Amino acid sequence: MDSIKDMSAPLIVVSNRLPFVLNRKENGQLERKQSAGGLVTAVAPVVIECKGLWIGWSGLHDLEPGTLIPEAAPNDKAPTSGLLSSQIVPVHVDQKEFEAYYNGCCNGTFWPLFHSMPDRAVFKADTWKAYLRVNEKFARCTIAALRKICAELDAEGKENVAPVIWIHDYQLFTVATSVRQAVEEENLRCKLGFFLHIPFPSWDIMRLFPWDDEILQGILACDFVGFHISDYCLNFIDCCCRRLGCRIDRNNMLVELAGRTVHVKPLPIGIPFDRFVRLAETAPVFIKDTDKVKVILGVDRLDYTKGLVHRILAFEKLLEKHPEYIELVTLLQIAVPSRTNVREYKQLKEEMDQLIGRINGKFSRPNWSPIRYIYGCLSQEQLAALYRDSAIALVTPLRDGMNLVAKEYVACQIKEPGVLILSPFAGAGEMMHEALLVNPYEINDAADVLHRALQMPLEERELRMTQLRNREQLLNVNYWMNSFLSSMGALVEDEERDPLT
């Protein structure tokens, strides 16, 4: 199921961010800056093909409602370049509202809570209200788009075709509530789907949020709900049962609310595997001395869920326990700046700077430093070269919905294979069995696993990497997208049956 399948109805994607960033040039003109993420690469061609729509925040606060989104530049080769401006619906959120919605509620409350770190979460009624208001804006845009598409289908005599609405992630939990209400009141028609890209926590954690019922009801306003792994599905179903008193069927992953049955399914997201292979085949070398020094690679957004501090302490422990690695091994950590206006992220940045400074001061030699640290963004090509040329990828989040770095690393292992070290607390840990799994909180153990990886014989590395690569090639991002849409009965080949029954 690698290729893109035909949709049986137009698709409306709703996500916090549009599939590209809008940038204002010095002369005031708007231009598109492309995003290279796997989700966008997979989903944009489907929206283009079925003449669907993408609804999202433009990235600019001062965009006047009604402003025309520019078409892609003629030399734009990105997968989104075929998205016409008429297929883009920008949602306008002013700076103040955005601050409360995005920095406050999305990233100050939901991000830590859903990653089971409630001590970091801030619960505030006013940021929650801003969240509801912004979700309502997204819902209004979605309903307007749905009305228009339904009218167009009617005019073409396609009264039986129900447009598909696919809502993404924790920024938009309550959008479906208003969409469902409008659909019922105005006799519109659609299939509503939701996918959560982060973990769904247990009832113990979820119940800490004072307005958890509204989140659950928002998700349950959909017909179909996808999570990365079955643990998250079961957590969600459990919350629906305990908080809302819903009838549930754990075995078949069904939840009943107000006479409607909602289908829940684990759908682990993949990556554009072949694209990473191609990049790895052609990308020029990025780190020059890999023949002399073995590189242990970390690539993450600078986020406290990623376990960066624990990881660096584990590397320090390795050098303490095995000084023979001095001048032979280096930890290369790429930290991509993220959510820099949120206090927790600012603090982490400072903590990292200090920690790395201390360890480098302790172990460095005139021509070698134990840790190389890049705080910034690299191109996909540079990343592919790093993945390809690193002996070890250290992917040790404390909690992570899936983690695509683990998958990108194995895709790029086209030469002598390295070793993937993975945390069981990432969704990826559920299926990438041939990785070396390590509990990131166990610093001493993590150092031992690093040692084991550095010593692993070629034959074992080959065996593990071949299995890992085969699986990721098969279960790539197109497979994930087709599975989601097929589960909703949204593909042409599903027309014979109704997958939701």
In this complex, which beta carbon is closest to ligand G6P, that of residue 422 or of residue 465?
Answer: 422
In this complex, which beta carbon is closest to ligand G6P, that of residue 338 or of residue 382?
Answer: 338
Query: 130 vs 102, 124, 134, 174, 309, CA distance in Å?
Result: 9, 10, 6, 12, 33
Q: Residue 391 Cβ, how far from ligand G6P at the closest point, in Å?
A: 27
462: DSSP letter: H
In this complex, which beta carbon is closest to ligand G6P, that of residue 17 or of residue 372?
Answer: 17
In this complex, which beta carbon is closest to ligand G6P, that of residue 5 or of residue 115?
Answer: 115
Site residue total, ligand G6P (CB under 6 A): 6
Q: Residue 323 Cβ, how far from ligand G6P at the closest point, in Å?
A: 38
Q: Residue 197 Cβ, how far from ligand G6P at the closest point, in Å?
A: 4
In this complex, which beta carbon is closest to ligand G6P, that of residue 230 or of residue 338?
Answer: 338
349 binds ligand G6P (CB under 6 A): no
What is the side-by-side strand order in the sheet with 11-17?
88-91, 53-57, 11-17, 164-168, 191-195, 224-227, 260-266, 254-257, 247-249
Please tell me the total number of residues recorded for the chain in this structure.
501
338 binds ligand G6P (CB under 6 A): yes
268 residue type, one letter: P
102: DSSP letter: I
Q: Residue 109 Cβ, how far from ligand G6P at the closest point, in Å?
A: 13
Q: Residue 482 Cβ, how far from ligand G6P at the closest point, in Å?
A: 21
Sign of CA dihedral 368, 371, 377, 380: positive
Q: Residue 404 Cβ, how far from ligand G6P at the closest point, in Å?
A: 9
In this complex, which beta carbon is closest to ligand G6P, that of residue 428 or of residue 447?
Answer: 428
CA–CA separation, 175 vs 132, rounded Å? 8
In this complex, which beta carbon is closest to ligand G6P, that of residue 313 or of residue 405?
Answer: 405
- The interface with ligand G6P within residues 187-216 (CB under 6 A) comprises 197-198
Q: Residue 169 Cβ, how far from ligand G6P at the closest point, in Å?
A: 4
- The interface with ligand G6P within residues 350-379 (CB under 6 A) comprises none
CA–CA separation, 154 vs 157, rounded Å? 5
Q: Residue 339 Cβ, how far from ligand G6P at the closest point, in Å?
A: 5
SS3 labels along 298-334: EEEECCHHHCHHHHHHHHHHHHHHCHHHCCCEEEEEE
Q: Cβ atoms within 10 A of the Cβ of 222, count?
A: 26
Half-sphere exposure of 359 (CA within 13 A, CB side): 24
Query: How many helical (H) and strand (E) elements, i.e. helices and strands, does the chain have?
Result: 16, 17
Residue with token string 């949709």: 7
Per DSSP, what are the bridge partners of residue 257?
A: 260
- The interface with ligand G6P within residues 120-179 (CB under 6 A) comprises 169
17 binds ligand G6P (CB under 6 A): yes
Q: Residue 121 Cβ, how far from ligand G6P at the closest point, in Å?
A: 16
In this complex, which beta carbon is closest to ligand G6P, that of residue 17 or of residue 322?
Answer: 17
x/- mask, ligand G6P, residues 395-434, rule CB under 6 A, reads ----------------------------------------
In this complex, which beta carbon is closest to ligand G6P, that of residue 17 or of residue 137?
Answer: 17
CA–CA separation, 104 vs 87, rounded Å? 30
In this complex, which beta carbon is closest to ligand G6P, that of residue 110 or of residue 409?
Answer: 110
What's the CA dihedral at 466, 472, 473, 476 to 10 degrees?
180
Q: What are the tokens at 457?
A: 């014989």
Give the largest Cα separation in the chain, rounded.
Answer: 76
Q: Which of 228, 263, 339, 407 binds ligand G6P (CB under 6 A)?
A: 339
The alpha carbon of 23 is separated from its chain's Cα centroid by a whole number of angstroms, namely 23
Q: Residue 342 Cβ, how far from ligand G6P at the closest point, in Å?
A: 9
Q: Residue 348 Cβ, how far from ligand G6P at the closest point, in Å?
A: 15
In this complex, which beta carbon is closest to ligand G6P, that of residue 290 or of residue 338?
Answer: 338
CA–CA separation, 493 vs 413, rounded Å? 35
Per DSSP, what are the bridge partners of residue 332?
A: 297, 372
Q: Residue 198 Cβ, how far from ligand G6P at the closest point, in Å?
A: 5
Q: What are the tokens at 226?
A: 């996808």
Minimal CB distance to ligand G6P: which residue? Answer: 197
Query: 485 vs 7, 36, 150, 252, CA distance in Å?
Result: 8, 22, 19, 18
Q: Is 224 helix (H, G, I), strand (E, B) or coil?
A: strand
Task: Please provide residue 36's backbone torsions phi and psi, each rounded to the nearest 5 degrees.
Answer: -105, 10
* 178 Cβ contact partners less than 8 Å away, ≥ 6 residues apart: 135, 136, 139, 140, 143
Chain residues in the site for ligand G6P (CB under 6 A): 17, 169, 197-198, 338-339
